[in-house]
Amino acid sequence: MTAPARLIAVESVSKRYVTSSGPVEALHDVSLTVSEGEFCTLIGPSGCGKSTLLGMLGGLVYPESGRILVDARPVTGPDPGRAATVFQDPGLFPWRTVLENVEFGLELAGSAAARRRSIATALLGPLGLKGFAEKYPRELSGGMKQRVAIGRALAIDAKILLMDEPFGALDEQTRVLMGEWLLDIWRRTRKTVIFVTHSLHEALFLSTRIAVMTARPGRIKSVLELPMDYPRSMESPELVALRAKLWGEIREESLRAMQ
Ligand SMILES: Nc1ncnc2c1ncn2[C@@H]1O[C@H](COP(=O)(O)OP(=O)(O)O)[C@@H](O)[C@H]1O
Ligand SMILES: [Mg+2]
């Protein structure tokens, strides 16, 4: 088997925001490469620049120094074919049905009505939303809403899915089930996922690699490889040991962030 091609290269990226109370150094000299098809998780204390890094990968935030390459080309702005983002807030349009929400990105991209309807309809099964096509967001549970948001991102078929704490607002049980569902979707679609979470369980259950970030200014503290097969048993000795290691690193940075 040939090794998967490198898709993303973050090269010595730094970012400082200028605010009314002075400059904030969000990221400092961050480098990371991600191969095609990986599920790479960023984990680190609040304010360490995870969303900033995702924003850069999406082409919405510009590095102050360094650069980001996708498919060996520098990212200079948003490109729906390259990356789609899912946030903690599903951000659905309340006046649009489930199907119309899933179609939204395709509509923006100028896709013909019949084509976008057929793509969105085909996604309803995998989204677990069959029979909900004509419902409105107010009629859905939190998990369902988030699946619509993920469907909207999948519909445009971007190579990279950027997920910024997508399950952060859900209750714990729903969250575990959404993780199982996302694992299935990822394995079927073979997207490259960059995932931000505070949940050790999610990180260990889903990721091919976990990048732990330091307290602000965010740097990559360590990268954990998770070569275990899916679906994973969280009680396996390997994962229990990795969990302890991961928590040790995160704890250290979280304590620093609290000071
Ligand atoms: N648009 C902005 N303007 C000013 N400061 C910002 C902006 N976005 C983020 N920051 C600051 O940069 C730091 C990193 O933020 P963020 O990337 O959101 O971190 P995280 O997602 O890890 O919590 C924080 O201190 C935050 O307050
Ligand atoms: Mg964030």
Q: What is the pLDDT of residues 61-109, one digit of tens each?
A: 999 999 999 999 999 999 999 999 999 999 999 999 999 999 999 999 8
Give the domain-ending residue among 137, 157, 177: 157
43 within 8 A of 210, measured Cβ to Cβ:
yes
Give the domain-ending residue among 157, 177, 195: 157
Query: pLDDT per residue over 100-159, tens digit each?
Result: 999 999 999 899 999 999 999 999 999 999 999 999 999 999 999 999 999 999 999 999
**Residue 3 pLDDT more than 90?**
no
Ligand 1 site, residue 15, Cβ cutoff 6 A: no
Query: pLDDT per residue over 201-222, tens digit each?
Result: 999 999 999 999 999 999 999 9
Give the domain-ending residue among 157, 180, 215: 157
CA nearest neighbour of 163 among 83, 240, 86: 86
One domain, residues 171 and 247: yes
In the reported structure, the alpha carbon of residue 143 is separated from the centroid of ligand 1 by a whole-number distance in angstroms of: 26
The structure tokens 């091919």 sit at 208
One domain, residues 164 and 47: yes
Q: Which ligand is nearest to the CA of 20?
A: 1
pTM of the model: 0.96
Residue 213 dihedral angles phi and psi, to the nearest 5°: -105, 150
One domain, residues 223 and 165: yes
Which atom of ligand 1 lies closest to the CA of 45?
22
Q: Is position 1 within any domain?
A: no
One domain, residues 46 and 138: no
Question: What's the number of domains the chain is made of?
Answer: 2
In the reported structure, the alpha carbon of residue 112 is separated from the centroid of ligand 2 by a whole-number distance in angstroms of: 35
Strand bridging mode 6-19 / 22-35: antiparallel
Q: Write down the pLDDT at residue 151.
A: 97
Q: Of all helices (H) and strands (E), which one includes residue 171? A: none
In whole angstroms, give the CA distance from residue 191 to residue 15. Answer: 27
